Amino acid sequence: MPYSEFSRDFTQFDARPMSPAIGAELLGADLTSLTDTLVEEVRAALLQYQVVFFRDQDITRAQHIAFARAFGALEIHPATPKDQPDREVLRIVHGPNSRGMENAWHSDVTWREQPSLGSILRAIELPEVGGDTLFSNMVMAYEDLDEDLKARLCEMTAVHDIARVFAKRLGKDTASLHEKFPLMEHPVVRTHPETGQRLIYVNTAFTDHIKGMDRTESDTLLKFLYSRAAIPEYQCRFRWAPGSIAFWDNRACQHYAASDYFPNTRIMERVTIAGDRPYLDADA
């Protein structure tokens, strides 16, 4: 179930859960008028539900950036063109000449030493139907494992590699990409720094192998762990509409952008909040 310690009575919006496991729409929130109370309550809702959604938000790119900055320092993604204004914004465009490629369960930028706290995604142009985004609760995915496997996983480290996805997209060879973004090691099970919960922290996009394990054995175990995100009981599904915004906790959940709208156009803008280095608290 969603983390209950942060449950509270909200004054800036009504929280309507999307599923028993994850997600809530924050009805009545107004992102054109940021206050300390609104930011505090959105953060609390994010910790409780892992992903929160806003409807009918007529905000500018500058307001999008300002909202994200209220939660921390912002990242610049290497896929953002160097001459783009507002480089904090990652523009994701798919249409007749570009089929969507985000249709795999993943956490964002786990190839960084300090992967993101969270991402805020805003709909710019949408297909008439399709292009939903799914989210999966990786705390539940961990908690439902048997105790022996949990203990084993908590002793493991995984290697994350930007080149698995972005070597081709950025048109760079693996060696040159690794000079700037070297292979990164993170625990297979991490502790959420604010809730203290443990969760599975490997993903099909960026996790390459488990350190020190035979490659075949590593691939088999990772395939099983990846499959946990696809369990419907851990999920919610968000149908986009004009003015919709999603804000997910990248430390707690994974997401999957359904690429079922080709050749129609879907344009989104994402602003990402920097996080900290994943760790596993032995006393959790």
What residues are annotated to the active site? 106, 108, 255, 270
Pick the closest to residue 191 from 237, 145, 252 (CA basis): 252
User: Is the dihedral angle over the CA atoms 91, 34, 48, 28 positive or is it negative?
Assistant: negative
Pick the closest to residue 90 from 257, 277, 278 (CA basis): 257
Q: Name the phi and psi angles at 150, rounded to 5.
A: -55, -45
From the number of C-beta atoms within 10 Å of its C-beta (0-12, 13-18, 19+), residue 258 rates as: middle
Pick the closest to residue 186 from 90, 88, 275 (CA basis): 275
Q: Please, are residues 201 and 110 in contact by the beta-carbon 8 Å criterion?
A: yes
User: Is the dihedral angle over the CA atoms 45, 134, 257, 277 positive or is it negative?
Assistant: positive
Look up tokens 């709208």; give the residue.
261
Cα–Cα distance for residue pair 273/282, rounded to 1 Å:
26
